[in-house]
Amino acid sequence: MIGQRERDPARCRRAFPSAALLFLCGLALACDRGRANPGTVADRFVDKYYVESDQQGALGYAGGVAALKLRDELKLAAEGRRPGMDMISRQIRVYYRRDALSGEGDLRRVDYHLDIRPQGGGELKRDAHLELQRGPDGWRVVRFHETQPH
């Protein structure tokens, strides 16, 4: 046949694992880029933990004491959902503003102003304080707590 190449099935099988490996490496790098910036990690943590009330999702951005605190909260929440335990749930909306990002080297502190609005009215103001540390897999929230605004 002139102008056409025959396919070599063995060559196609060898190329597929290489292409798949290349794709997976690229995917891993793309996911890791999300931890390259401490401000981005802090914002994502605040979104998961405070806005979405998703401790499991926040764990993906946590390490150290923060991860221990989240696991304890998840355990308590699971115990509260046992049969016979009636929990009253109120919807809330949380809005936040990043006030400061400070630090240098492998440590950062990020402060947020939280505006918490429960269903049915009312308004709570809190300040959230996050400490981040850079490790081999990027930035992680290692401590967090809330205070009353000044």
Q: pLDDT tens, position by position, for the chain (150 residues)?
A: 455 555 555 554 555 555 444 444 444 444 444 689 999 999 999 999 999 999 999 999 999 999 999 999 999 988 877 776 565 666 889 999 999 999 999 999 999 999 999 988 889 999 999 999 999 999 999 999 999 997
| Domain containing residue 82 | 37-147
Is residue 100 assigned to a domain? yes
d(CA 50, CA 80): 19
Within a domain: 134: yes
Instruction: Give the number of other Cβ atoms within 10 Å of residue 5's Cβ.
Output: 6
Evaluate whether 109 touches 95 at the Cβ level (below 8 Å): no
Is residue 25 assigned to a domain? no
Quote the DSSP letter at residue 51.
I
Is the CB of residue 51 less than 8 Å from the CB of residue 94?
Answer: yes
Which residues, other chains included, contact 5 with Cβ-Cβ below 8 Å and sequence gap of 6+? none
Number of compact structural domains in the chain: 1
Which residue do the tokens 């926040």 mark? 58
Alpha helical stretches, state H, the chain = 9-33, 38-46, 55-59, 64-80
Structural domain contains residue 18: no
